[in-house]
Amino acid sequence: MAKAQEHKVSTKMIKAVRGTRDLLPPETALWNFVETTVRDVFRAYNFQEIRTPLFEETALFARGVGEETDIVAKEMYTWQDRGRAASEKGQSLTLRPEATAGIVRAYIENKMWDRGLNKLYLLGPMFRRERPQKGRYRQFYQIDAEIIGPSSAGSESPARDAELLEMLATLLDRLGIANWNLQLNSVGCPNDRANFNEALRRALEPVKDRMCVDCQRRAVTNPLRVFDCKVPEDQPIIEKLPRISQFLDEGCRTHFEAVQAILTKVGVPFSLNDRLVRGLDYYTRTAFEFTHGALGAQNAILGGGRYDGLSEALGGPAAPGIGFAIGEDRLVMSLQENAPAGSVLRKPDVYVAPMAGMNGDAARLARELRRHDLVVELGDDAFRLKKSFEAATKAGAKYILIVGENEVNTDVFTLKNLATGEQFAVPRAQLSAKILGLI
């Protein structure tokens, strides 16, 4: 009995963990298309890539993202590492739930202020223990960019906010995402926020008992977070609350107006949304989100903003910065609607089909063609010709090239268009040029 059970357990199919998934071809072609476009566009704005570890000390996120945020309060994958000795307790470590804290940690640790203004981007997976649904995963991917540096390098300037936003508009246009909508707000500086918080707390006091449990907690600990609430019954109450726009000091108001003026000048449309306060505590001044109609409830493709106080909160020098994180999963979902993966995938240009005993010669020919940047699928001499044609068609190849003894001896090969049946006899030396000319 025990043996039978053991057997049963050992043959149970293992599935991907809830909230994680495999990205399979041809969809991965769409991911590559996105990432190549991102790199091209970001390069034009002189951004450079940074890669930080997938896990960090837990304290980094507790401090950098904020204890009170949903991310830190309930969504992080945290574990106690083993110490050097078996008896020793190790550090508390966490899989990164977002990129900015790690990048700012790297900025401080590597004294990157010596480089002046840093324009950095990062592509990679993030981890949050959220309830999975369409467009929401526990391992998801972000495209993140940050402009950070000392004030003397101009990191605080509204010109940087506008440049970053204009870059995003360019990226979305280049990717073919139509109908995006830029929502813009200023969340002021810590002083404005303190006044605003106080006003919010007062306004919430008489009404908070009628709100959801999360809002009741937020009303006491961090009233600003009330604006994150999605519970429909709470919305009429939230609508009547004071707005941050009434609390901006002179400096913040001028900064915000300057950002808007540049965006107008460069022709990037936006709408003001003073309910947009973002989920993270370190944001100051400009806050923004790009939404896209096609995504339904999960319609935020990306969000970002300024975080002028973050470096200091992490024990570094003053280093104003602004950045954003694009949800790559959602971006790809939006793209899929009008650009199916097949449209960006390069199928084999040619299928090389060896006749019996010709695997070596076929491999040699395929090697020559691949050197000329052709996409080549190589067959097997165990296949009969009919099976080779079927395999070539299944692979989506445009042409098939037969490699038989006769062809190798005469050095002239038959190239056949699989769709039209059109045929060419081509000398070996001209093969790659001929195919490149045809495709």
Q: Which residues bind ligand AMP (CB under 6 A)?
A: 98, 128, 130, 135-137, 140, 142, 279, 300-303, 325, 327, 329-330
Nearest residue to the partner ligand AMP, using Cβ:
327
Q: Report the amino acid identity of residue 310.
A: L
The phi, psi pair for 60, rounded to 5°, reads: -60, -45
Nearer Cβ to ligand AMP, position 329 or 349?
Answer: 329
What minimum distance in Å lies between the beta carbon of 137 and ligand AMP?
4
Residues paired with residue 121 on neighbouring β-strands, in sequence order: 49, 145
For the record, the structure tokens of 194 come out as: 């303190």
Q: How many CB atoms lie within 10 A of CB 282?
A: 25
Instruction: Give yes or no for a contact between 405 and 415, defined as CB atoms under 8 angstroms apart.
Output: no
What minimum distance in Å lies between the beta carbon of 120 and ligand AMP?
16
Instruction: Give yes or no for a contact between 125 and 19, defined as CB atoms under 8 angstroms apart.
Output: no
The phi, psi pair for 119, rounded to 5°, reads: -115, 105
Nearer Cβ to ligand AMP, position 330 or 416?
Answer: 330
What minimum distance in Å lies between the beta carbon of 393 and ligand AMP?
37
What minimum distance in Å lies between the beta carbon of 326 and ligand AMP?
6
The phi, psi pair for 76, rounded to 5°, reads: -85, 145
Nearer Cβ to ligand AMP, position 118 or 142?
Answer: 142
Q: Write out the H or E segment, with its range, that includes residue 91.
A: strand 89-95
Instruction: Give yes or no for a contact between 186 and 33, defined as CB atoms under 8 angstroms apart.
Output: no
Nearer Cβ to ligand AMP, position 98 or 308?
Answer: 98
What minimum distance in Å lies between the beta carbon of 85 and ligand AMP?
37
What minimum distance in Å lies between the beta carbon of 338 and ligand AMP?
19
Going by C-alpha positions, the residue among 49, 75, 56 that lies closest to residue 280 is 75
For the record, the structure tokens of 375 come out as: 């996409």
Nearer Cβ to ligand AMP, position 99 or 369?
Answer: 99
Nearer Cβ to ligand AMP, position 56 or 329?
Answer: 329
Spatial distance between the Cα atoms of 52 and 121, rounded to a whole number of angstroms = 11
Nearer Cβ to ligand AMP, position 284 or 388?
Answer: 284
Q: What is the largest CA-CA distance in the chain?
A: 93
What minimum distance in Å lies between the beta carbon of 54 and ligand AMP?
16
